[in-house]
Chain A
Amino acid sequence: MPGPAKGTRQPPSRAAIVEQVRELYDDLDFSSVRRWLAEHPTWKAAGYLPVYAPRELLHACGFLPIGIHGAGDRLEIIRGDAFYQSYICHLPRSVIEMAQSGRLDMLSAVLFPSTCDVIRNLSGIWKLLYPAVYVRYVDVPQGAKSEEAISFWENELQRLVDDLGALSGRRPTEADLRASVDLYNRVRAMIRRLYQLRQERPWDLPTEELYLLLRAGEMVPPEDFLTLAEDYLGAVAADPRRQRDNSRVVIAGAFCEQPPLGLIKSIERTGCYIVDDDFLLGNRFLTHDVSLEGNPIRTLAEAFVQNDLCSSVLYEIKPTGKKETMRDRAAACRADGIIFATASFCDPALLDQPMLRAGAEEAGIPCIAFKYAENTGQFQQFREQAGTFSDSIKLWGAS
C-alpha cells in the first residue's frame, strides 16, 4: 500500500487534535509559549485579559498575543485569595495566583481591557507588583458611533503601538500593521466558519471541542491556529456523528470568567446542543473583517466603533437593544432556549441579565439561569437543571 505522497501531510484525526488542544488548555505553565519564544528570540509575549484586546497590534509589534483566562479548576488558589474579598469573582484570584507563582513571567506586556472594574483595578495591582512589565488599561470608547469615538480609539491604539514598538524594538510599518490585520481577519473568519458549522451541525462539532480549539488559539501563533482549525474541520468532515433529539440552546453571560470545561460538557450531555455562546468572546468581538484599505490603525478603530456586536461590556446605544439582543440571537441560531450561565459576582453579566432575560421571555423563549465559578467542581446541580430544561423544551416547547 503506497504511503502518503512526498511533501504532503497526513491529516490528523479529530482525537489527535482534541488531545493536542486539551494539552494546551491544561498547560498552566505555558510551556508551549516558552518553547516558542525560545525558538523565536526576536519575539516577545504579551498577555491580555478578557474581553476585547486588539491582538493584531500586539502581533505587528512583535508580541505573541496570549489570552489570560485564569486557571479554572486546575490550580489551588493560595496567594490569589490574599488579594480579593469573598464577594469578588474568581478570575482575578487565579490570574494573580498564576502570576505570583511565576507562571506568567514570560509576559513582557499585559493588557487589561475595560471589561469591568475588577479587571480595571487589576491593572493597577499589576503595575505595583510587576513594574518591569508593560501594563496598559485598554479603555475602549463607549457610546455613540461617532467620529470623536473613532479618533479617541485611534489615538489609544496608536499609543499602544508606539509603546509596544518601543518595548520590542520592532516599530511596525503600515505594511506590517496591515499584514497583522489581514492575518487576524483570517482568524476571525475561521472562527465565524467554525461557529456557523456548529450552528448547522452541533452534533458534529461539540462545544467542548470547539472551546478547547479556541482556547488553544489564544496560546499559539495565529498561523498555527489557522492550520489547526483547518485540520479540525477536515477531521470533523471525516468523522460525522449521529444527530440526536437534543434541544438547541444559547449559553449567555460567560464572556469573561470562563466556566470549567466540566460545566460545558455537563450541559451538552444533558440533551442540549449549544448553538451559540459567549465563551472567549474577544475572538468574535469584531463581527466583520477590518478593512485593509487606508491606515490600518484608523481602520481598526473604525471597525470597533462601527461594530454591531451587542455586549454587556459596551454601552447599548439603542434603547430597545437589550431586549432585542437575545431574541435576535436565538432566532439567528434557531435556538429553543437560553441558558444564562454567569460567573458569580460578574457585574457586567449579572446587571445585564434582567434586561436580556425580559426580552427573551417577552419573545416567548424559555430561559433558565445559574451561576458558576471557574473552579466549580460539582456539576450535578447544573446537569439536573439543564436536563430538566431540555426535557421541558422537548415536552412543552411545541405546544
Chain B
Amino acid sequence: MATVQKDRSMQLQKDMIAEHFELLAHAEENHTPVVYTFVPGNLTELIRSFGALPVLPEINALQSGMRKQSADYIAEAERIGHSEDVCTYVKCDIGMMRTGNIGPAGTKLPKPDLLLLSYTGCYTFMKWFELLREEYQCPAVMFHVPYQGDGEMEPAHREYMIKQLKEQVIPALEKATGRAYDEEKLRYHLELSAKVEDDLVAVLQAGKLVPSPIEGYFGTVYYVGPIFSAFRGTEGGVEYYRALREEIEERAALGLGPVTPDGPLNDQKYRLVVEGPPNWTSFRDFWKIFYDEGAVAVASTYTKVGGLYDQGFRHDPSRPLETLADYCLGCYTNLSLPSRIDLIAKYIREYAADGFVIHSVKSCNSFSAGQLHMLRELERISGVPGCFLESDLVDSRYYGQANLKNRVESYLQMLDSRMRGERNVPTPPSKPDRVALKVAP
C-alpha cells in the first residue's frame, strides 16, 4: 500500500485543528463559552469577539464520515426515529451526540452555550438546530438570512439583517457568554479575516494556471477547512493561509500539479469544474477515480459555501455589522439556481475547463434539487459536456465505487475524443523562480 503523501500545509492545519479541539475539550473547566453554528453564513468573527469558541456540526459530521464512524452514528439516529430520507449530516451529528459526543479529534465536545442558527440557504439548518435544542436543552437564536431569489442583494434585506444582529443575535451572545459586545474586538477579527481571504483567493485562482498547482475540489476541501471552521479572523488563520499561498506559489513556479494521496498530479489531461459537496465516507477512493485518469478540478462550488471571496467579497472592518450581513447574503448556498448556473459557467470559462461534473448528494436538497436542470443549462451555455454523479455526504450506503468509476471513466473518454485538436487553454506563464499569484478584480 502506497504511503499517503501530504502537503506541508496539511500538517499545519492538522496541528491547528488539534489545538482547537483541545480547547473545546477543556472549555467547560476553563469557562470558555461555546457557540455552535453552521459553515454557510458563519459569524466566526462575532463569536470570537465574545471570547467564545465556535463548533461547526457539519465539519464534525464530515470528519466522522472520513473516519468511517458515520454509519454507526446514522444507525443510532435512525434507531431513535429519524427518517432514512433526511440529511445524513443531521443524523450523523445526533448519533454522535447520543453516543458520547466524541469529536473528530477523539475528545469530548462541550455542550453549546448557544446555538447560533445562521439560516443561510439551507432549510435543514433550521430543523437541525431545533433538534439540537431539544437534545442539549440550551438557548438558540435564529438569524434569518433572506434568500437571493432574484439574484441580487437588496438593501432592505441588509437592513433587516443588521437589525436582527443588533436586536437578537448580539443580545443572545451577550447573555450566553456573560460578556458585552465589543465592536473594536469585532473589527480586529474582521481585519484578520480580510487577510485570510486575500490569501485564500490567490490560492483558489491558481487553478487558472496550466498545469493547475491546486486540486480545486478534493484538494481544496483541505484548504478551506480552516476558513470554513474556526479560523477565519484569527492569527492562526492568517499564518496558515500565508503559508499555503507561498506553498502554492512555489509549486506554480516549478510547474507542478497538486499533491494527491498517491503523489503529485503533474500530468493533467482534463480540467474540470465541480458542483456539489463531495462524498466523505470514501473521499480518497472518489478522488482517486479522477486523478488516476489525469483529471484535475480547477474550480468548484462546494469550496465556496463558506463565502464567495473569489468573487470579490472581503470582510470589511470599517462596517462591521454590514459586512457580516453581506457575507451571509452572498454565500453560495444562498444564491438562486440561475445565479449558481452563471457562476459555474463563469468558472468553466475563466478556468478554461474541458468539462464539468455535478456531484449530487442525496442528503442535500439545497444543492441537489434542480441540479439536473443545471446540467442541461450549463451544457447549453458553456458548450462543454457535463457529467452527473450521485452519492451521499456521509452515508456509505449510497456510495457505489464501481458505478461512479464507470461513469467518470466513460465521461472522460468522451471528453478525450471531443478535446482532440480543439483544446483552448491559456498557456502557462513564463517560469520565474516564484509565481506571484494575483487576485483578480
Take A83-B372, A84-B372 as given contacts and tell me if A120 and B86 are in contact as well, using a CB distance cutoff of 8 Å: no
Q: Which of A102-155 contact B (CB under 8 A)?
A: 112, 114, 116-118, 120-125, 127-129, 136-137, 139, 141-144, 146, 148-149, 151-152, 155
How many A-B pairs with Cβ below 8 Å? 160
Highest count of chain B CB atoms <10 Å: which of A316, A352, A354, A355: A354
Asked if A152 and B146 sit within 8 Å, CB to CB, the answer is yes
Decide yes or no whether A189 CB sits under 8 A from chain B: no
Chain A residues lying within 8 Å of B18, measured Cβ to Cβ, are none
Provide the residues of chain A in CB contact with B83, threshold 8 Å: 342, 350-351, 353, 371
B123 close to A148 (CB less than 8 A):
no
CB-CB under 8 A from A120, the residues of chain B are 123, 147, 149, 366, 369
Does A85 lie at the interface of the complex (its beta carbon under 8 Å from any beta carbon of B)? yes
- Looking at the complex, which of B66-74, B159-167, B286-294, B416-424 is the stretch in contact with chain A? B159-167
Chain B CB within 8 A of A357 CB = yes
B84 — nearest CB in chain A belongs to which residue? A350
Given A128-B338, A348-B123, the answer on whether A319 and B140 have CB atoms closer than 8 Å is yes
Note all chain B residues with C-beta closer than 8 A to A118: 365, 369
Q: What does the 1/0 interface line of A297-308 toward B look like (CB < 8 Å)?
A: 000000000000
Whether B144 pairs with A87 at a CB distance below 8 angstroms is no
B188 at the interface (CB under 8 A from A): no
Q: Known: A92-B369, A127-B336, A137-B147. Is A144-B360 also a contact (CB below 8 A)?
A: no
Q: Flag whether A188 is at the interface (Cβ < 8 A).
A: no
- CB distance B134 to A117 under 8 Å? no
Chain A residues near B130 (CB, 8 Å)?
315-316, 322, 352, 355
Q: Is A323 an interface residue (CB 8 A)?
A: yes
Name the residue of chain B whose CB is nearest to the CB of A151: B160
> When the two chains form the complex, which single residue of A144, A155, A322 contacts B156, counting CB atoms closer than 8 Å?
A155
Instruction: Give complex CA distance A85, B375 in Å.
Output: 12
- B362 close to chain A: CB less than 8 A: yes
How many A residues, CB 8 Å from partner?
A: 56
Q: When chains A and B are docked, how far (Å) is the Cα of A121 from the Cα of B143?
A: 21
Confirm or deny: A398 has a beta carbon within 8 angstroms of a beta carbon on chain B: no
Choose among A148, A345, A353 the residue that contacts B167 (Cβ–Cβ < 8 A).
A148
- CB closest residue in chain A, given B162: A148
Whether the pair B82, A354 counts as a contact (CB closer than 8 A) is yes
B85 with A345: CB separation less than 8 A: yes
**Cβ–Cβ contact A143 & B134, under 8 A:** no
Give B61-91 as 1s and 0s: 1 = Cβ < 8 Å from A's Cβ atoms: 0000000000000000000111101110010
For the complex, what is the distance from the CA of A357 to the CA of B80, rounded to whole Å?
A: 11
Q: Which of A134-190 contact B (CB under 8 A)?
A: 136-137, 139, 141-144, 146, 148-149, 151-152, 155
Chain A nearest Cβ from B92, distance in angstroms: 14
Q: How far is the CA of A301 from the CA of B336 in the complex (A)?
A: 25
Given contacts A116-B365, A124-B337, A141-B144, contact A315 B126 (CB under 8 A): yes
Q: Assuming the A-B contacts A85-B360, A143-B164, are A122 and B370 also in contact, with contact meaning beta carbons closer than 8 angstroms in the complex?
A: yes
Chain B proximity of A120: nearest CB distance (Å): 6
A395 cross-chain contacts in B, Cβ below 8 A? none
Q: Is the CB of A146 within 8 A of B338?
A: no
Q: Contacts of A141 on B, CB cut-off 8 Å?
A: 144
When distances are taken between beta carbons in the complex, the residues of chain A under 8 Å from B338 are: 124, 127-128
Contacts of A121 in B (CB 8 A): 337, 365-366, 369-370
Q: Does B122 contact A (CB under 8 A)?
A: yes
Given contacts A120-B147, A347-B124, contact A146 B167 (CB under 8 A): yes
Q: How far is the CA of A207 from the CA of B311 in the complex (A)?
A: 53
B residues within 8 A CB of A125?
A: 337, 370, 373
- A-B pairs, 6 with minimum CB distance: A124-B337, A137-B149, A143-B142, A351-B127, A148-B163, A121-B370
Residues of B in contact with A (beta carbons under 8 Å apart): 80-83, 85-87, 90, 117, 119, 122-124, 126-128, 130-131, 133-134, 137, 139-144, 146-147, 149-150, 156-157, 160, 163-164, 167-168, 336-338, 340-341, 360, 362, 365-366, 368-373, 377, 390
- Chain A residues with CB under 8 Å of chain B are 82-85, 87-88, 92, 112, 114, 116-118, 120-125, 127-129, 136-137, 139, 141-144, 146, 148-149, 151-152, 155, 312, 315-317, 319, 322-323, 342, 344-348, 350-355, 357-358, 371
**Can you list 17 A-B pairs, Cβ within 8 angstroms, ordered by A?**
A85-B371, A117-B365, A125-B373, A136-B149, A137-B149, A137-B150, A137-B336, A144-B142, A144-B167, A152-B157, A345-B85, A350-B85, A351-B86, A351-B127, A354-B81, A357-B81, A358-B134
